[in-house]
Amino acid sequence: MEVNHIRNSELKENIVNTAINILVQNNLVTKDDFPRLTVNVGYLFTKENGQFESLFRLDFTDKTFFFALQEGKLMIIDIDDAMFDQTVEQMKSMHPCLLSDELPETETQKNRRIKNNDYIKSLSVAFPEKLMSRWDDDATELKDKTEICTRALAAFFVIQIACDIGAGNYDESIEFFKPILEEMGLTEHLNSKEKRIFDGTYDMQDAIDMDWAYEAFWSLCWALGLVDDIRDASEVCDCDAAIGFVRGCKTIEEFASKCSLRSTAEILDVLDLYYRYNWAVNESRVNPDTETGDLNPSIVIERRRGLEWLVSDVSDWYDLDMPA
């Protein structure tokens, strides 16, 4: 059966990013062209044989490029606006799926989308009604509790060191926290930025990023049942409470004994909410009139980072791809 994917934002973003890479590699655009980029996807669907087919255009400040995806090949094509519109209409007449506004989503994804859209509306935050939930419950696997607890603790202790960098107390801080990290067996679980903080090769951007990583840590604490609710993305996390979660724990097992991992469905509900928050703050950069309510963009991105990590196969959460 042919399926219309015009509402699949993740798929569209992946295809468009591939097209942009083609343009960059061929020196047809530069990064200076990106701020004015607009995308018009005429159609995007899968055929009976499972092959994707698409026609779209990328408009930069003073350049327009048309792309076609056929038989697994993405190529620049030489057409004009009229031919683009004509081809789109012709394809709609030939492929009835392109006339359907139904999203290729499960009933669970549909219910999650509607529920979160209703909640976001109550916050006076903009949202696209048909932004499909990216996660299928049956196809999503959480990281196990021990791995999550290990990640949370590693992040927590290095965050404390990063916070001390701003106060000029790095040497004292690393002297205090290094033995803790080593004794708990956390040093081999540090991500890229944490390693640079730990070994002293960091720059100030690393320190700033790790300071904000408190919010990613906070989302892990919520997933572990230590925090009641993280839907409010306007206020930074409670650092004193965070310290209390870890205080007295000498091993990963002791910390884990305080935790109760939430269900996949509950985590996906909140991850999908932050995905929608992220869409709003990203859209506001392009269109300043976009309503974002009281959302703090940095909180949104970092908490989403932690939630995305939970359902990914990525080890370093700074390597995550987070389209919105």
C-alpha closest to that of 216 among 188, 189, 187, 242: 242
Domain match, 306 and 323 both: yes
Among residues 71, 99, 127, the one where a domain terminates is: 99
Cβ-in-10-Å burial (0-12, 13-18, 19+) of 210 comes to buried
Domain match, 234 and 110 both: yes
State the Cα–Cα distance between residues 313 and 159, nearest whole angstrom: 23
pLDDT, tens only, 189-237: 999 999 999 999 999 999 999 999 999 999 999 999 999 999 999 999 9
pLDDT, tens only, 86-124: 999 999 888 888 887 667 788 999 899 999 999 999 999
Question: What's the pLDDT at 85?
Answer: 94
C-alpha closest to that of 224 among 259, 258, 254: 259
pLDDT, tens only, 5-30: 887 777 888 899 899 999 999 999 88
Domain match, 60 and 207 both: no
For residues 225 and 259, the answer to whether their CB atoms sit within 8 Å is yes
pLDDT, tens only, 128-158: 887 888 888 888 999 999 999 999 999 999 9
Mean pLDDT, the chain, whole residue set: 91
Among residues 49, 71, 99, the one where a domain terminates is: 99
Give how many domains the chain has, as a whole number.
Answer: 2
Range of the domain at 36: 3-99
Domain match, 151 and 94 both: no
pLDDT, tens only, 40-86: 999 999 888 888 999 999 998 889 999 999 988 999 999 999 999 99
Calculate ∠ Cα 213-218-219, nearest 5°.
Answer: 100
Domain match, 69 and 182 both: no
